């Protein structure tokens, strides 16, 4: 694994692990799928979205997994268990690891092999974008959980400690 990929893997593991803790912190399955006025996506939908995004763009495209993405379903689902969402996030960790392990220095510097919204970014830059995209949605899920439940406690998001382990 390249040093770049190894560093990214630390970030993906940390933030996916925190997303799991966020989902576990919801008091019940139903609250996971609730939103507030002006908020389009529940924390459950955000988790499904980052799962589909990373399993497709890193696991399948770089790691050769057989994951088939259904982006519409990521946003359309309105119920399910916390356990099933967590299982998807756990599978994502494994598939991201496979994709990053397959990343060579040459592939990292090359144009990403899949068109992304009609654009063709460099692979390394796109992977950084994916890490930021994950962190963005993790923050949304955490904020939504606090607003819905009144729980002020955090789940250790963006822990510096997890970068040095």
CATH number for position 76: 1.20.120.450
Model confidence pLDDT, tens digit, residues 103-155: 999 999 999 989 999 999 999 999 999 999 999 999 999 999 999 999 888 88
86 vs 47: CA distance, rounded Å: 9
Domain that holds residue 44: 3-163
**H-assigned helices in the chain:** 3-25, 29-32, 43-54, 61-63, 71-76, 82-101, 105-109, 123-149
CA–CA separation, 2 and 108 (whole Å):
9
What pLDDT digit, counting tens, does each position of 26-65 carry? 999 999 999 999 999 999 999 999 999 999 999 999 999 9
pLDDT score at 13: 96
- The total domain count for the chain is 1
pLDDT for the residue numbered 158: 73
Segment 55-72, tens digit of pLDDT:
999 999 999 999 999 999
* Torsion sign across C-alpha atoms 45, 46, 49, 50: negative
> What average pLDDT does the segment 7-33 reach?
97
Q: Taking residues 95-104, report their average pLDDT.
A: 96
What is the pLDDT at residue 165? Answer: 60
What is the number of residues in the chain? 165
Alpha-helix runs per DSSP H in 33-81: 43-54, 61-63, 71-76
Tokens 């992304």 label which residue? Answer: 116
Q: What is the average pLDDT across 78-105?
A: 97
pLDDT at 80: 97
């Amino acid at each position: 694994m390249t040093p770049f990929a190894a560093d990214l893997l630390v970030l993906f593991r940390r933030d996916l692990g925190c997303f799991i803790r966020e989902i576990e912190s919801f008091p019940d399955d139903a609250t996971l799928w609730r939103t507030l006025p002006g908020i389009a996506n529940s924390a459950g939908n955000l988790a499904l979205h980052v799962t589909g995004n990373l399993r497709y763009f890193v696991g399948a495209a770089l790691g050769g997994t057989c994951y088939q993405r259904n982006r519409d379903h990521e946003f359309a689902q309105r119920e399910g268990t916390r356990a099933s969402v967590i299982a998807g996030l756990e599978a994502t960790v494994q598939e991201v690891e496979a994709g990053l392990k397959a990343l060579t220095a040459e592939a990292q510097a090359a144009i990403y092999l899949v068109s992304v919204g009609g654009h063709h970014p460099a692979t390394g830059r796109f992977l950084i974008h994916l890490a930021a995209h994950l962190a963005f949605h993790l923050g949304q899920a955490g904020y939504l959980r606090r607003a819905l439940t009144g729980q002020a406690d955090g789940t250790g998001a963006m822990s510096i400690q997890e970068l040095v382990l």
